A and B are shown apart, each in its own frame.
Chain A
C-alpha cells in the first residue's frame, strides 16, 4: 500500500484566498484524522471521521475551517478565507475503526501551508 497520500506537499497563498488540502487514506481504513502542527502548539487534532461521518470537530479553530469526506478514499480540509496565522503543517492520518484497541494512526507526509 502507498500509505496515506496528501496533496499538495507545499502551498503558498495570499491572505484571503481559499485553500484546499487533500487526503487519500490507506485502503480499508475507516477512520480519518486531520491535524495541524506548529512549533508552539505541537500536533493538534482538528477533526476526525469514522465511516465518512464527522465524529468530533471540536478542534476546528473557527468557521473558516471546514472538512469533508465524500467517500472512503478521499477527504478535504478547506480554509476560506485563509489568514497568516493558519500557516502550519497539516497532517492527515488514517486508522482501522476503533475496536480491540487497534487505533494505530498512520500519517501522511503533510502539507506545509504558508499564508502571506
Chain B
C-alpha cells in the first residue's frame, strides 16, 4: 500500500536555528515528490517538485532533497515568517496523489 509519513509532527525552533523536516514514502512507481506550505486558514501553496533521487531544489532559506526512500526539507536560519505547516505529497503511477499529514513548524523570535 502506498504510504507517506512525515516527521516530526511538530517542530519548534529558535530564530536562526537550522533544522530538517523528513518525508518518507513507500510507493510503487514514484513519478514526483512535492513540497507544499500551508498557512492557517489557507490552502497549501506549492514550494518544490523533485523527480529523481539526488535532485535538489532551493528557494530562499529552504532546500529540498530526494533519495529513493525519503525527502528532506532543510530550513537554514529560519525566521518567524517561516512558521507554517509543511506538507509533502507523492505522485505515483496512475496520477494518484498521496499527501503526508504534515509538520507544523513554529519559529520563535
Contacts and interface: CB of A to CB of B under 8 A. Distances in A.
B38 to A, nearest CB: 9
B87 A103 contact: no
B76 to A, nearest CB: 24
Contacts, number: 57
B85 to A, nearest CB: 10
B46 A45 contact: no
A106 interface: yes
A45 B102 contact: no
Interface stretch (B10-18, B63-71, B89-97): B89-97
Nearest to A56: B96
Contacts of B100: 42
Given A33-B97, A42-B100, A43-B87, A101 B43 contact: no
Which size class do A's interface residues fall under? 20 to 34
Contact of A110 (B42, B45, B49): B42
Given A42-B99, A42-B100, A101 B42 contact: no
A4 interface: yes
B44 A107 contact: yes
Contact of A91 (B43, B51, B101): B43
Contacts of A50: 95
Contacts of B95: 48, 50, 55-56, 98, 103
B61 to A, nearest CB: 21
B31 interface: yes
A101 B49 contact: yes
B45 to A, nearest CB: 7
Nearest to A33: B97
Contacts of B97: 33, 45, 103, 105
Interface of A: 4, 33, 35, 41-45, 48, 50, 55-56, 91, 93, 98, 101, 103-110
